[in-house]
Structure 1
Amino acid sequence: MNTQMEEVRLSLGHVELAGHLFGPADGVPVIALHGWLDNANSFALLAPKLRGLRILALDLAGHGHSGHRPAGAGYALWDYAHDVLRAAEQMGWERFALLGHSLGAIVSVVLAGSLPERITRLALIDGVIPPTSGPQDAAERMGMALQAQLRLDSKRKAVHPTLEQAIQARMKGLVAVSREAAELLAQRGLMPVPGGYTWRSDSRLTLPSPTRLSEAQALSFVQRVACPAMLVVAADGMLARHTALLEQLPFTREVLPGGHHLHMNDESGATLVADCFNRFFGIP
């Protein structure tokens, strides 16, 4: 196990990203992408257990210590994919593997399907394609998103009087996490403000998407993936009930006990996921 970690900052021109570097300098290049409203500490338990990999765990734009996008910009999947390519350029990596959880797994599939020649391996945790919808919903969804954008200016972020209350709130969030996971996310995600603490994440991350892909469009990215791919499905997570989708995937699958954040909720979950991915990467 390699527990050494280095804090890094990458200036991509259009945004500055922060992150962690794990593993030996000559290890297999891997870019790790966390889930929605999480940050690079999502991989703090898992990354040190992965052998022979040089892992760049990013704070995605708008999350953690990374910069927020300029006024008027948004957080579309393809914007994240572009950021990853720019980060790879900064690292000098022409070809690299992707390790993604939830939103990060979706971005990984989008990138691996768009530019299959750039991606060497795809390691996914409880995420694969974005939520989809039919064409009949397009206009209504766009209207809902535009209204939400207009209302955002009048909203203020929640301020938690104490660090403990902020951690408790994260534990009970839209997707519940363990205390250990909430504390890890709080280390990079919270900042002090008058009256207590608030989350660093850009408020625009909570806006609904103005457009959604059809299922056929989303699966077209899956179908163009050319590298070996493994999907870890959390038994109590968000994918397990989507059996029809899972049966369409040409990826190796492993169902493991635990919830959506199984790789960071505790050491035992991180160990189970690491065992899968160490076998997948085939590094002794």
Structure 2
Amino acid sequence: MEQLTGQIRGIRVGWSEGGDPEGGPLVLLHGFTGSSDVWGSFEQVLGGCRLIMPDLTGHGRTDSPADPGRYGMEEQIADLDALFDAIGLDRFSLLGYSMGGRVAIGYAAARQERVRRLILESTSPGLLLEEERQKRRDSDKNLAAFILREGIPAFTDYWEGIPLFESQLGLPAARRREVREGRLCNRPEGLAGSLLGIGTGSQPSYWEELHGLSMPVTLITGSLDGKYAAIASRMLKALPDARHAEVEGAGHAVHVENPERFATIVKEAINEGGQP
């Protein structure tokens, strides 16, 4: 993978590129506490594609602005648009995991003409009710304050212990260390800004927009992640052209817990209609 940086709309943005430069483009968006590095192990199996892997705001080699508003959905969409224009990317398949999946939904809703197909792993279109959003904003505000006060190691200890990632306890020790080291590379101000600016309570709800997404959509969830499997089932009913792939024995991070099956599903999705 080639690691790159550039000035995009006033901030430094990092991204990685790999695979076949002449292949159909596939953009991959990581989740909260991740970076473009999480996709490195998929370069060989997805190598027939041109892989573009941005570091979202506050993560990886992308700057961590002081203003939480700079992390908001409209800003993220504009940053991605500017990056794609800068590297000559017109139409592409778009894959997003968790937080990255929420950004992918927002981007697809705003820029349908650029997205050939959408692949969403363990994600949500947001919270439908304002009461739910306010409760989540309050929770994210408290967590952001904890990160800034206690630092990344203490936050990582907490984050690894939440029920969402319980299924990762069964992974080999080396794999768990790799995931932990990636989380420890984060900056407190980046994670705090991300929670405040584009947490589930701060982003728009895209449930109503799902009906208008005309591109093929593949939803990926793990069978052990009941919450997001249920969300995917609801999304499946709202999307005009979608399928849901559930991976047995996997939790929230399917690409971590069963990378072979995850890669197979992604390859099937991008090959359904020819080039990505």
Q: Give the TM-score band, short-chain normalised.
A: 0.7 to 0.9
Residue in 1 that maps onto 2:224: 236
Secondary structure (helix, strand or coil) at the match of 2:229 reads coil
Which has a greater percent of helix?
Answer: 2
TM-score of the pair, normalised by structure 2? 0.79
Q: Within the alignment, does 1:259 sit opposite 2:251 as a pair?
A: yes
Question: Structure 1 pair 116/60, CA: closer, same or farther in 2 (3 Å)?
Answer: same
8 Å CA contact 1:29, 1:53 repeated in 2:
yes
**Could you list the runs of 5+ residues in structure 2 that have no partner in the other structure?**
none
Residue in 2 that maps onto 1:67: 63
Secondary structure (helix, strand or coil) at the match of 1:156 reads helix
CA positional deviation for 1:44: 2.5
Secondary structure (helix, strand or coil) at the match of 1:92 reads coil
Question: Structure 1 pair 92/147, CA: closer, same or farther in 2 (3 Å)?
Answer: closer
Quote the RMSD (CA, aligned, Å): 3.4
8 Å CA contact 1:20, 1:40 repeated in 2:
yes
What are the Cα deviations for residues 230-253 of structure 1, in whole angstroms up to 9, with x where unaligned? Answer: 111221224113344443333121
Question: Structure 1 pair 180/248, CA: closer, same or farther in 2 (3 Å)?
Answer: farther
TM-score of the pair, normalised by structure 1? 0.77
Identity across the alignment (%): 18
Per mean C-alpha deviation after superposition, the further-off stretch among 182-191 and 249-258 is 182-191
8 Å CA contact 2:164, 2:252 repeated in 1:
yes
Larger Rg: 1
Residue in 2 that maps onto 1:194: none
Question: Structure 1 pair 240/144, CA: closer, same or farther in 2 (3 Å)?
Answer: closer
Residue in 1 that maps onto 2:127: 131
**Could you list the runs of 5+ residues in structure 1 that have no partner in the other structure?**
192-196
CA positional deviation for 1:53: 0.8
Secondary structure (helix, strand or coil) at the match of 2:83 reads helix
Whole-angstrom CA distance in 2 between matches of 1:175 and 1:252? 23
Q: Within the alignment, does 1:278 sit opposite 2:273 as a pair?
A: no
8 Å CA contact 1:133, 1:212 repeated in 2:
no
Aligned pair count reads 262
Whole-angstrom CA distance in 1 between matches of 2:137 and 2:195? 16
Whole-angstrom CA distance in 1 between matches of 2:155 and 2:142? 25
